[in-house]
């Protein structure tokens, strides 16, 4: 098969399209003939040598795919050769074939293309487990996600809105703000032009914000703690500006009985990820099939242009998902 190698790591140009063997199936796995793969920030971190894959994962970049089942291990009974699926992968998505636990596969939602389906797993698994499992977001509560125009952000906005929350977000320009409002945000603050803490205090009122999903860290942490209301929950999924904020005052945590939590998805157990997949199929897939929630794809690149895809990711100019068209004969949708 052909796959993207990144050697010892470095800038986007280190990635090259090379030939290598197909993955060997382990018990419980299926081999997916990959049509599309999602590009995510952890891919960039891994390429730079800052996010090594788990010991049992493929060293090839990529955490989500869509395509057709090409082979199935003898103990797999839930999927058959030819089934169209999307899947969360522990690695290996930037390749023509990817081995994935069958329990981490989901059917392509009715009415969605394989391109759209490939944009779902990483974001929807991440948002569901962090906002709804760890953050315990409930209907009628207020929710803030920083970086609302990212794939994670737009997923979080739409899911929170669909489940009855008031949704706020922060973004870097007015085009991104407009996109977030169009997908369900009540308030979108341009942090480059406005004091988001002041604006959100006014929007949320005295009761404050119930749940915050943050991927920024740094100076945002103290602001988040001040924005949260009584029994509020702060959930971290990344620290783009650092995990050691200076002069952090934790007194609001005690006074308001706050919960500070967070998680990473990739190292979670097979059973944990399978449980998230089950929840998504039961509670979220119907929303996708009804059109209440829609995937947002910003750009799709052929696999040979993977460097351009990573350059776009690092620029933060995109709104929504960046995708790779993997199957050589594929006509871009």
Contact 170, 182 (CB under 8 A): no
Of 272, 278, 269, 312, nearest in space to 40 by CA: 312
- Ranges in the chain annotated CATH 3.40.50.720: 124-262
Which of the residues in the chain have pLDDT under 70?
328-333
Q: How far apart are CA 301 and CA 114, in angstroms?
A: 15
Looking at residue 103, its pLDDT comes to: 98
Of 132, 181, 206, 216, nearest in space to 319 by CA: 181
**pLDDT tens-place string over residues 71-85:** 999 999 999 999 999
- Any idea which architecture 124-262 has in CATH? 3-Layer(aba) Sandwich (3.40)
Q: What is the DSSP letter of 237?
A: S
Q: Which CATH code, of 3.90.180.10, 3.30.460.80, 3.40.309.10, 3.20.140.10, is assigned to 2-120+295-325?
A: 3.90.180.10
Looking at residue 327, its pLDDT comes to: 85
Q: What is the DSSP letter of 284?
A: T
Contact 37, 326 (CB under 8 A): yes
Looking at residue 86, its pLDDT comes to: 98
- pTM: predicted TM-score of the whole model, two decimal places: 0.95
- Ranges in the chain annotated CATH 3.90.180.10: 2-120+295-325
Looking at residue 332, its pLDDT comes to: 44
Q: How far apart are CA 191 and CA 251, in angstroms?
A: 25
């Amino acid at each position: 098969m052909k796959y993207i190698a990144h050697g010892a790591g470095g800038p986007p140009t280190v990635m090259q399209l090379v030939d290598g063997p197909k993955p060997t199936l382990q018990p419980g796995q299926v081999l997916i003939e990959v049509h599309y793969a999602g590009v995510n920030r952890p891919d960039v971190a891994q390429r730079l040598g800052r996010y090594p894959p788990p010991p049992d994962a493929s060293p090839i970049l990529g955490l989500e795919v869509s395509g057709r089942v090409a082979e199935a291990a003898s103990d797999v009974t839930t999927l058959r050769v030819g089934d169209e699926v999307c899947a969360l992968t522990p690695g290996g998505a930037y390749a023509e074939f990817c081995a994935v636990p069958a329990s981490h596969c989901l059917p392509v939602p009715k009415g969605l293309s394989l391109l759209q389906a490939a944009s779902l797993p990483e974001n929807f698994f991440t948002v569901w487990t962090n906002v709804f499992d760890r953050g315990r977001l409930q209907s009628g509560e207020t929710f803030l996600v920083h970086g609302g125009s990212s794939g994670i952000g737009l997923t979080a906005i739409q899911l929170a809105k669909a489940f009855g929350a008031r949704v706020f977000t922060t973004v870097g320009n007015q085009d991104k703000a407009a996109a977030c409002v169009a997908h369900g945000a009540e308030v979108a603050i341009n942090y480059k032009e406005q004091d988001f803490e002041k604006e959100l205090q006014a929007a949320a009122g005295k009761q404050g914000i119930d749940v915050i999903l943050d991927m920024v860290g740094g100076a945002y942490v103290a602001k988040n703690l001040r924005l949260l209301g009584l029994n509020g929950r702060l959930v971290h999924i990344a620290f783009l500006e650092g995990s050691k904020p200076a002069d952090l005052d934790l007194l609001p945590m005690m006074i308001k009985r706050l919960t500070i939590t967070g998680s990473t998805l990739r190292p979670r157990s097979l059973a944990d990820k399978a449980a998230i997949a089950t929840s998504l199929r039961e509670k979220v897939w119907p929303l996708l099939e009804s059109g209440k929630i829609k995937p947002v794809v910003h750009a799709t690149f052929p696999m040979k242009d993977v460097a351009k895809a990573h350059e776009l990711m690092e620029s933060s100019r995109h709104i929504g998902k960046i995708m790779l068209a993997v199957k050589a004969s594929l006509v871009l949708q």
